[in-house]
Chain A
Amino acid sequence: MAEVPLSRGTRAGLPPAVEVPGESALARALWGVRAYGFIAAMWVRSTMVYRASFAIMLLGSFAMTALDFVGIMIMFSHVDALGGFSLHEVALLYGTSATSLGLADLVLGSFDRVGTRVRDGTMDTMLVRPVPALAQVAADRFALRRLGRVAQSGLVLCWALSGVELVGSPLTPLLLAVTVLSGAAVFGAVFVVGGAFQFWAQDAAEVQNSFTYGGATMLEFPPTVFAKDLVRGVTFVIPLAFVNWLPVLRMLGRDDPLRLPGWVDFAGPAVAVACCALAGLAWRAGLRAYRSTGS
């Protein structure tokens, strides 16, 4: 499949004379990333035709998540602390969780369309193109407006940092950056697993909202708010606690409710890598299980 030649500059999305690589795994992966870039750039160009519409959607995306935070602020207009955490501390949780989800949504937010593509048969088109299906699905309808969500949560994160005393070493800013990025990778893995699941259950795209948006909403609040079994579930079953709870609790100098050993707070990147590997396997299994509609 990888040897299919592309003619010079015939397709709008691809620049002329793209070299399709050989069989090595690394070359294929790099090619997948490049192809993702081409397809995403094509969608950006196509959105930019309607600039006013794009501006409205960008603002809307910003406002949509901002309302979540307004909700939290209304809560704090009645109380000084929620689960023992102040507004700035909750804002730190909100900022890290929402920024991670925002980044994952920006890069991989189109996986809920897999079910539709399986149902109407357009998944076939993706499989005959000389680009990995994962890269194509990920870049499908790439929406730059999702930057609005990232910007909003980034602002909340900055505001939170201006109001809390972080304990720890000079490495704390690095820990924060690594936390947000590995959190994004964990959410990204959840998006991919959700996409793979739709090969079997096409109409079940909504289930992944429970883990992505539901998970992110949960992580916006301190773990002390939730029942211990629920906290255990998002630590050991779906490892969302590593997205922000464990590292941020350490930065705030708080104990985690499950009393895990201290080194676990730094396990975020390792957990993220494991999640991505599992998601890759799930995607392969899903793709193998795919039967075309035959139309």
Chain B
Amino acid sequence: MRLHGVYFAVAAGSFRRYATYRIATAAGIFTNTVFGFILAYTFLALWSERPGLGGYDQAQALTFVWMGQAMLAAAALIGGGFQDELQERIRTGDVVIDLYRPVDLQLWWLTADLGRAAFHLLGRGIVPVAVGAFFFELALPSSPLVWLAFLVSVTLGVVTGFGLRYLFALSAFWLLDGSGLNMLSTLLSMFFSGMLLPLTVFPGVFGEVVRMLPWAATMQVPVDVLLGEYRGAEVLDAFGFQAVWALALLAAGRALQSLATRKVVVQGG
């Protein structure tokens, strides 16, 4: 019971921490909105040449663009999030302080990341979608149940994304300078999450493989849930896909963490 309180406090603290930087949030909203406009027009051009591409009509394709911009910061799709901070703590040795706290390292950072994501989804997500809906015809669902399913899916997506980023972050225990691998992490996420183009547009076998990878769970699946691509109980399959990846990645992170902490040596006393 006590411990639950600790993790809740970590998440709430993280939420408030990111909420402090109001100008940065406004700057982020502005940038997401500008990119939303640019991508929306390129998608319009593509979908007017090929209506129904990837199984989306034009309004759905535009919704994909704006939801992508709304989720960009929340799901840390092109960087951001906790990994730079954790890596810096590993490099300087401050991670030792984290390790002798009576809390779990992975859960600590997971709850902190969830708090951050919650703020980013609200603070940086709502305005771009509202602007997008004002200027373009979007296919936003009217049923509150679909929105609820979307929120569940986004949460699962953030946890999956955390699982991936935690693995990359822990590499700092061995490499000290994680910037090369962070870049790789960003590259993979940008390309395989659907941020660049919906994964349903990727051709042939390559497309099929890409849609099975964990990055698909971070953005493609939540947006598809919102667009009603999963009918009825199929939503549970989508949740299942995300949950399996999330659990597998968290387990891998835990294994890597126990390997890593075994090699931490504390100097002095």
Residues of A within 8 A of B (CB): 50, 53, 56-57, 60-61, 63-64, 67-68, 70-71, 74-75, 77-79, 81-83, 201-207, 209-210, 214, 217-218, 221, 224-227, 230
Contact = CB atoms under 8 A, between A and B. Distances in A.
Given A50-B177, A210-B35, A75 B191 contact: no
Contacts of B196: 67-68, 70-71
A75 B21 CA distance: 37
Given A64-B187, A67-B196, 4 more contacts: A63-B187, A203-B27, A209-B31, A210-B31
Specify which of B49, B177, B180 lies most central, judged by the most chain A CB atoms within 10 Å of its CB: B180
A74 B39 CA distance: 15
B38 A53 contact: no
Contact of B41 (A207, A209, A210, A226): A226
Interface of A is mostly: helix
Contact of B180 (A60, A78, A82, A204): A60
A208 B203 CA distance: 34
A78 B38 contact: no
A83 B187 CA distance: 28
A218 B38 contact: yes
A246 B44 CA distance: 22
Given A74-B203, A79-B50, A56 B180 contact: yes
Contacts of A209: 31
B184 A225 contact: no
Contacts of A204: 23-24, 26-27
B46 A205 contact: no
Interface of B is mostly: helix
Instruction: Report the contact-size class of chain B (Cβ under 8 Å from the partner).
Output: 35 or more
A71 to B, nearest CB: 4
Contact of A214 (B26, B38, B49, B179): B38
Contacts of A224: 45
B190 interface: yes
B244 interface: no
B34 A203 contact: no
A224 to B, nearest CB: 8
Contacts of B202: 74
A203 B50 contact: no
Interface in B179-200: 179-180, 183-184, 186-187, 190-191, 196-197
Contacts of B42: 75, 82, 221, 225
B53 interface: yes
Nearest to B23: A203
A113 B191 CA distance: 27
A217 B35 contact: yes
A218 B184 CA distance: 25
Contacts of B34: 210, 214
Given A67-B191, A209-B31, A217 B38 contact: yes
A209 B24 CA distance: 13
